[in-house]
């Protein structure tokens, strides 16, 4: 039987600490060779700016194969529709049975923040107390929850183009008892932060490397997986020690990396490590308090596999979802 799980059902099943641990585990599996993560292809037609990305993954430790089909359709904004939609399929690595089909909205948001938390735990200064956020939507709310799981965050400095979005964000996180500052500019956020998360679908850079102070850690999260989109300028990438979730994926999909390489400002060999290699200790993370570290988060299928397994098991335990016999 296959379990179908809707977004509304998944929201109640999401567990941030469990997801952080699961994402860290699959990153380690990628480093050790017990998991497989091919770079995703982009499917596109010359008549449209839409992209369709099948994001596949396989893990022996999790005994799962998965694929998420991500639809990235910027034109949806004109119709007040989501610009990104996705569906995740989980398949038993042992039997080939389709175990579950999940709406991708909640899993993607939570696993993305969890990956930032893994990077932050490994790369940020342990005493970091001020979180800076560029963007104040749902992903920002989830990142606050994730950062609190790994650091003693006391202060949040946030910027968004929309005052209404910032107000809603402040209301959403008010129960944490944090000191919240509404910044007047992106630069103010960058210069205030110990840990900076950029969470916007920017095409052109919003963040400049000249604003980076010694000791900063950056999670560059928001830009679409396209070679010409980025939030961080070339100077920022050169200034930082750069870490990625998967180098083949970043080389194919990350404008933040592809553009400065094309400009000659850096090379792909300048990437310090994949995050999984830092998890397993085969490559160094932060080397000193003055290092600027940057996690270039493109997003990989193993993250979807990790959270998909957690959500599937939680749904079975709680009796949530709709069972369908697909092979009847």
Instruction: Output the average pLDDT for the chain.
Output: 96
264: its two tokens? 């000659």
Q: What was the pLDDT predicted at 236?
A: 98
Q: Which of 53, 81, 31 is nearest to 299 (CA)?
A: 53
The CATH number assigned to the domain with range 124-299 reads 3.40.50.720
* Secondary structure (3-state) at 198: strand
134: its two tokens? 């560029």
136: its two tokens? 């104040």
Q: What was the pLDDT predicted at 223?
A: 86
| pTM greater than 0.75 (yes/no) | yes
Fold of the CATH domain 2-107+302-324: ornithine cyclodeaminase, domain 1 (3.30.1780)
C-alpha dihedral, 52 to 225 to 12 to 121, nearest 10°: 150
Q: What was the pLDDT predicted at 39?
A: 86
Other CB atoms closer than 10 Å to residue 52's CB: what's the count? 16
Q: What was the pLDDT predicted at 28?
A: 98
Residues of the chain predicted below pLDDT 70: none
Whether 158 and 180 have beta carbons less than 8 Å apart is answered as: yes
DSSP 8-state class, residue 175: G
Distance of CA 163 to the CA centre of its chain: 24
Q: What was the pLDDT predicted at 105?
A: 96
Q: What was the pLDDT predicted at 177?
A: 97
Q: What was the pLDDT predicted at 328?
A: 82
Q: What was the pLDDT predicted at 217?
A: 98
Q: What was the pLDDT predicted at 192?
A: 98
Domain residue ranges of the chain, discontinuous segments joined by +:
2-107+302-324, 124-299
């Amino acid at each position: 039987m296959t379990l179908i799980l809707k977004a509304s059902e998944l929201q109640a099943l999401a567990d941030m600490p469990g997801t952080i641990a699961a994402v860290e585990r699959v990153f380690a599996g990628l480093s050790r060779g017990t998991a497989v993560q091919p770079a995703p292809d982009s499917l596109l037609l010359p008549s449209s700016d839409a992209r369709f990305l099948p994001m596949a993954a396989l893990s022996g430790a999790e005994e799962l194969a998965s694929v998420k089909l991500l639809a990235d359709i910027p034109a949806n904004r004109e119709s007040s529709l989501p610009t990104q939609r996705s569906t995740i399929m989980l398949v038993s690595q042992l039997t080939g049975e389709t175990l579950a089909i999940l709406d991708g909205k909640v899993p993607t948001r939570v696993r993305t923040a969890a990956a930032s938390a893994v990077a932050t735990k490994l790369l940020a200064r342990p005493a970091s107390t001020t979180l800076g956020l560029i963007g104040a939507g749902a992903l920002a709310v989830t990142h606050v929850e994730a950062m609190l799981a790994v650091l003693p965050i006391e202060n949040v400095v946030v910027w968004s183009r929309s005052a209404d979005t910032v107000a809603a964000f402040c209301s959403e996180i008010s129960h944490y008892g944090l000191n919240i500052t509404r910044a007047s500019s992106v630069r103010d956020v960058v210069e205030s932060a110990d840990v900076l998360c950029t969470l916007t679908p920017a095409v052109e850079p919003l963040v400049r490397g000249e604003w980076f102070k010694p000791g900063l850690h950056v999670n560059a999260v928001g830009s679409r997986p396209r070679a010409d989109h980025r939030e961080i300028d070339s100077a920022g990438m050169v200034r930082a020690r750069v870490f990625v979730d998967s180098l083949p994926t970043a080389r194919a999909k990350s404008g933040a990396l592809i553009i400065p390489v094309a400009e000659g400002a850096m090379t792909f060999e300048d990437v310090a490590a994949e995050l999984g290699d830092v998890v397993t200790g085969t490559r160094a993370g932060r080397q000193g308090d003055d290092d600027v570290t940057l996690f270039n988060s493109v997003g990989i299928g193993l993250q979807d596999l990790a959270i998909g397994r957690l959500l599937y098991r939680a749904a079975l335990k709680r009796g949530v979802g709709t069972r369908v016999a697909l092979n009847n």
